[in-house]
Structures are given as structure tokens and as C-alpha cells.
């Protein structure tokens, strides 16, 4: 598990116990090019106030890209808005194709997403945890 993955998991665990967590590799494991950064997770006992708080923390970070927290499904996803928009939703089969196309065609976007996600993770690590 990468350092960034450990840090992201630890940051999210501060807001509740995780049942599931995923963070794609920053670099393609075979070809070595940068990949778009995003993360997904599921809390064991989610509640709306935590999601709203995480959204407010993310909005407070000066990022190069626009980010969104999608919680329309059981698993929550924090990702650049462009991906969600171009794929027309997480449940759309085009999601994986959209991510792949961005990985291959827009390396600058991928690098910006990685830089942004590091800032977001750092801010989540520093944020005070709201009382339940």
C-alpha cells in the first residue's frame, strides 16, 4: 500500500470507521504514466453531517481542479468533477473508459489531480473532527 493510500485512509478514519477504501495508483503500474487521482470509501455507519463536513473541508482547499463528493451510491467517491461530468455518473459503464481516456490523453490533468488530492488529504488530516 502506498504512502498516499495510507495517509488518505487514516485521514478518512478520523471521521468514522471505514468498511471499504480504494485509491487508484498514482502511476500506471505497467506503463508508468500518471493516472487521474480520486478515492472512494464506505463508512460502516455513515451519516449526512460527516459528508457535509467533508464537502466543506474539500471546498476550503485551494485546488487546481473542481472536486466533488459523490454520495449517490453506497460508496462515496471524491473525484475531479470533470470525470463525473464526462462519464455522466459513476454508475455509467463509460466511467472506466472516461478515466482511461483522461489517463492516456491528458497527463497534465492527471498531475493536477494528484497534487490536489495530496492537498485535500493533508487538509482532512488537519481538520477538526465534528462531534456526532
pLDDT (tens digit per residue) in 62-77: 999 999 999 888 889 9
Predicted local distance difference test score (pLDDT) of residue 71: 87
In a domain, 101, yes or no: yes
In a domain, 132, yes or no: no
Residues 6+ apart with CB under 8 A from 57: 120, 123, 124, 127
In a domain, 54, yes or no: yes
> How many structural domains does the chain have?
1
Predicted local distance difference test score (pLDDT) of residue 4: 86
Helix (H) or strand (E) holding 83: helix 81-87
Domain residues for 84? Answer: 3-126
Average pLDDT over residues 34-48: 88
Assessment of whether the complete model's pTM goes beyond 0.85: yes
> 132 pLDDT exceeds 80?
no
Helix (H) or strand (E) holding 67: strand 67-70
Confidence of residue 129 (pLDDT cuts 50, 70, 90): confident
Residues 6+ apart with CB under 8 A from 11: 121, 124, 125
Amino acid at each position: 500500500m502506498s504512502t498516499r493510500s495510507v495517509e488518505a485512509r487514516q485521514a478518512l478514519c478520523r471521521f468514522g470507521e471505514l468498511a471499504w477504501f480504494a485509491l487508484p495508483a498514482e502511476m500506471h503500474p505497467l506503463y508508468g504514466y500518471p493516472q487521474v487521482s480520486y478515492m472512494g470509501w464506505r463508512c460502516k455507519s455513515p451519516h449526512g453531517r460527516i459528508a457535509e463536513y467533508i464537502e466543506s473541508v474539500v471546498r476550503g482547499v485551494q485546488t487546481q481542479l473542481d472536486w466533488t463528493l459523490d454520495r449517490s451510491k453506497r460508496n462515496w467517491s471524491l473525484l475531479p468533477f470533470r470525470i463525473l461530468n464526462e462519464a455522466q455518473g459513476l454508475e455509467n459503464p463509460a466511467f472506466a473508459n472516461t478515466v482511461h481516456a483522461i489517463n492516456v490523453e491528458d497527463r497534465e490533468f492527471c498531475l493536477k489531480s494528484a497534487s490536489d488530492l495530496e492537498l485535500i488529504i493533508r487538509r482532512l488530516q488537519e481538520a477538526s473532527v465534528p462531534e456526532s
